[in-house]
């Protein structure tokens, strides 16, 4: 599983012009699923999201997590995180989980995250989403459950 974590002042998702999810200060997570991902991959990423010390403490040092600050989380499915441009100019998505399985994986990911942190919102799997954000810092972290980076 791959995730892009962005510290935000606010973020929102709209589908067909209607707001489906929004948060204030917190973390926007773009989440992609590999064809061989397991529950352990999702747990690894959730633990990192909830524990990432990317918010400033009173001394101005990144030492606090989203849970420490009471911030919010917005999870957005994004299969293009497994886009591969090493051959040619059109990305290959062959490593990405197939849509039906990825929908189940995303739903499980959201449910697990919500069960551990109630201030979790989510985008809509398979929808043409418009994602807006005000990145804070900017702070952007890449995660891969296979620990490639």
Catalytic: which of 78, 106, 109, 120?
78
- Marked catalytic residue, from 6, 14, 33, 79: 79
Residues in the chain: 149
Residue position matching structure tokens 């551990």: 116
> Is there a catalytic annotation at residue 6?
no
- Cβ atoms 20, 124 nearer than 8 A: yes
Omega cis (within 30) before 64? no
Residue 149 CB-density burial (10 A; 0-12 exposed, 13-18 middle, 19+ buried)? exposed
Calculate the alpha carbon distances from 2 to 7, 19, 42, 76, 78 in Å. Answer: 17, 25, 9, 12, 9
Contacts (Cβ under 8 Å, ≥6 apart) of 31: 1, 2, 3, 45, 75, 76, 77, 78, 81, 106, 109
Q: Any catalytic annotation for residue 79?
A: yes
Question: Is 125 one of the catalytic residues?
Answer: no
Catalytic residues: 78-80
């Amino acid at each position: 599983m791959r995730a892009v974590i962005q510290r935000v002042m606010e973020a929102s998702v709209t589908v067909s012009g209607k707001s489906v999810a929004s948060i204030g200060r917190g973390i926007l997570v773009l989440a992609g699923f590999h064809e061989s991902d397991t529950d352990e991959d999702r747990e690894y990423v959730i633990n990192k999201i909830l524990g990432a010390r990317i918010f400033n403490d009173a001394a101005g040092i990144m030492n606090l997590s989203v849970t420490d600050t009471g911030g919010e989380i917005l999870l957005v499915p994004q299969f293009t995180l497994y886009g591969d441009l090493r051959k040619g100019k059109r990305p290959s998505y062959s490593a990405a989980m197939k849509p039906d399985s990825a929908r189940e994986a995303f739903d499980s990911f959201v449910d697990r995250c919500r069960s551990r942190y109630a201030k979790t919102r989510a985008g809509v799997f398979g929808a043409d989403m418009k994602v807006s954000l005000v990145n804070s810092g900017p702070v952007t972290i890449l995660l891969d459950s296979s620990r490639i980076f």
